[in-house]
Structures are given as structure tokens and as C-alpha cells.
Amino acid sequence: MEQNHLISRYMIDNKLNIEQVMLDFTPYLCTIVNRKRGTFSDEDVEEIISDIFYAVWKNQHKLDWEKSMSAYLAGVAKNIMYKKWRNLKPNTNLVDFEDDFADVENVEMEIENKERETVILTELKNIKEEDREIFVAYYYYARSMKEIAVELNITEKKVKSRLFRIRRKLKKVLNKGGYH
């Protein structure tokens, strides 16, 4: 996760800047809620999103500043949708509901994976062309080190060494960006 998505970014004088949270995350929450819309009306969706922001604001003293705001909001969204759904369908099997909403966490993972991929692609643009070719051939086209060495007319050991250095550099960049 990038540093600009940490909860600490939204804290000013130990208070949550809820207006900024709402500006930054309303589209994200709309995506989550609409993916599992089911029996929710437009009014229900608006109410759920409002309830999410209210719950975050009300519980701001419990926030871990070093965590991802989007992950926290996804969890709150899941809980509020669960309660709303339970109130709409009181006799429905709750196990079925939990399975239905299980991929709310997948949305968060999907978003984080896309962010991570963007960081990697950006970093790949900044390395030597031959190193980029090696990395892409190995990781995207699943070529062996031997095939890459033959194609680029270099030794297999050199391919292995360059891949190691590229991975180390990418790991450093990802860790700096908050990805582990």
C-alpha cells in the first residue's frame, strides 16, 4: 500500500479529517457496495455509505494510524452491509450471506495488487532496457534463464545475477511504498 493511503494521512491534531476521507474514498466504497448490491435500493446504498463514514468518524479514537484506510473502510463496509442485509432479510441463512460477501476483502486485495503492479511497471521503466527485457521475459513470458541467455547472447549466470538485482531493487521500492 502506498504511504498516502495510511490512516495517519487523514489525521490532523489527533482528529480524523472525515471530509478528506469522504472525498478520497466515496468512489471506492460505491464500488464495494454496488458489487454486492443485491436487494439494496439506491437509498440503501447511500445510507450504507453514510453509515460507513459515520462509523469511522465515531470510532476514530480506535484507528491504527499505520494501517491502510482503504482496508479499514472495506472492513467497515462489510460489517455495515451485513447488518443492513440481516435487517432486510431476517430469516435468511447467515452462512449464505457470509459467502456472498466474502469477496469484499478480495476487492481490497485486487486494488492493492493493481497498486503494486503500477509501482513495479513504473520502476521497470526506470531500469536499463536489457534488464527490463530479462525481467519481462522471465516473469511475464515464463522463459527459462537459459533461453533468455541464448536470446540476448549473454551467460546464464549474468541473467541470474541481473534478475537478483532487479528483484532486490523492486523489493526495496515496494517496501518503501508500504508493500510487504
Give the single-character DSSP code of 71.
H
pLDDT of residue 38: 66
Q: Going by C-beta distance under 8 Å and a sequence separation of 6 or more, which residues neighbour residue 43? A: none
Read off the pTM. 0.48
pLDDT of residue 3: 47
What are the residue ranges spanned by the domains of the chain? 3-111, 127-176
pLDDT of residue 159: 94
Phi, then psi, of 165 in degrees rounded to 5: -65, -40
Profile the chain (180 residues) by mean pLDDT over runs of 10 residues.
65 84 85 72 83 85 79 82 69 49 59 80 88 86 88 94 93 82
Cα 56-117-169 angle, rounded to 5 deg: 110
Q: How far apart are CA 35 and CA 70, in angstroms?
A: 16
Residue with cell 541473467: 159
pLDDT of residue 39: 65
CATH of 127-176, one of 1.10.357, 1.10.3430, 1.10.10, 1.10.3470: 1.10.10
pLDDT of residue 2: 46
pLDDT of residue 74: 82
Is residue 29 within 8 Å of residue 80, measured between CB atoms? no
Does an H or E element contain 171, and which? helix 156-176
